[in-house]
């Protein structure tokens, strides 16, 4: 696992939150360097491989599970398994072909697919991109931490992004004052970090 130290501009605003309103800490938006996110469009379905779930496994993911273990995979369609690069985006479907979600594939891990988006609407959202998805998930995580009263006068150290708990499987962001420590525990984080 790679560990990176990154001072993010919105994290610096935490100091302001210590003396004033917690909601001012982020000023209503989060700025994240585009070079970290890349511009990966996970909406594009042309020639995207499909990971088909084994019989009886799709309910787990419809109920919100974000990690597809190797034992839950029946087979891969569209491209030979050996040709799918680690960290590539795949669709996850049930045996009937219904879309369960979109995630990243790792043929060498027991966590075969880390789902980043679950299909709760019956259709793929038009503006689904890695950049947009990360912005959304991080905004939601920030909002949750603010509702929990973080940061506050007792502490300015807390976990801002908690991997699967914030629907960003494999990504952890801990905040210590004005510094964010980013830990990537998944191939997709490493592949798209620059």
Question: pLDDT tens string for the chain (194 positions)?
Answer: 332 333 343 334 433 443 333 333 333 333 333 323 333 455 454 567 899 999 999 999 988 899 999 999 999 987 755 578 888 889 999 999 999 998 999 989 999 999 998 887 555 554 567 888 888 899 999 999 999 999 999 999 999 999 999 999 999 999 999 999 999 999 999 988 76
Nearest alpha carbon to residue 73 among 105, 116, 118, 121:
105
Measured CA to CA, the distance from residue 18 to residue 23 in angstroms comes to 11
CA angle 87/145/171 to nearest 5° reads 15
Measured CA to CA, the distance from residue 194 to residue 190 in angstroms comes to 8
Residue spans per domain, the chain: 2-38+132-191, 50-118
8 Å CB contact between 63 and 55: no
Phi (first) and psi of residue 173, to 5 degrees: -130, 115
Q: What local confidence, expressed as pLDDT, does residue 122 receive? A: 55
Q: What local confidence, expressed as pLDDT, does residue 161 receive? A: 97
The span from the first CA to the last CA of the chain, in angstroms, equals 16
Which strands sit side by side in the sheet containing 2-6, from one edge to the other?
Answer: 2-6, 179-184, 171-176, 157-162
Assign a CATH topology to domain 50-118. Answer: 2.30.130
Length of the chain: 194
Is this structure's pTM higher than 0.85?
A: no
Measured CA to CA, the distance from residue 100 to residue 119 in angstroms comes to 5
């Amino acid at each position: 696992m790679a560990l990176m130290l990154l001072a993010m501009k919105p994290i610096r605003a935490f100091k302001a939150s210590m003396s004033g309103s917690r909601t001012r800490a982020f000023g209503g938006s989060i700025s994240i360097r585009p070079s970290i996110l890349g511009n990966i469009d996970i909406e594009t379905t042309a020639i995207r491989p499909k990971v088909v779930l084994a019989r009886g496994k799709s309910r787990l993911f419809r109920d919100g599970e974000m990690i597809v273990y190797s034992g839950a995979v029946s087979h891969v369609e569209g491209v030979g398994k050996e040709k799918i690069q680690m960290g590539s985006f795949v669709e996850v479907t049930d045996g009937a072909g219904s879309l369960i979600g979109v995630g990243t594939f790792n043929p060498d891990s027991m966590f075969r697919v880390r789902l980043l988006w679950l299909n709760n609407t019956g259709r793929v959202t038009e503006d689904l991109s890695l950049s947009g998805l990360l912005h959304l998930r991080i905004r939601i995580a920030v909002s949750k931490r603010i509702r929990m009263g973080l940061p506050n006068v007792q502490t300015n150290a807390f976990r801002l992004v908690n991997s699967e708990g914030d629907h960003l499987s494999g990504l952890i962001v801990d905040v210590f004052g004005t510094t964010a420590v980013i830990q990537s525990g998944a191939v997709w984080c490493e592949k798209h970090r620059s």
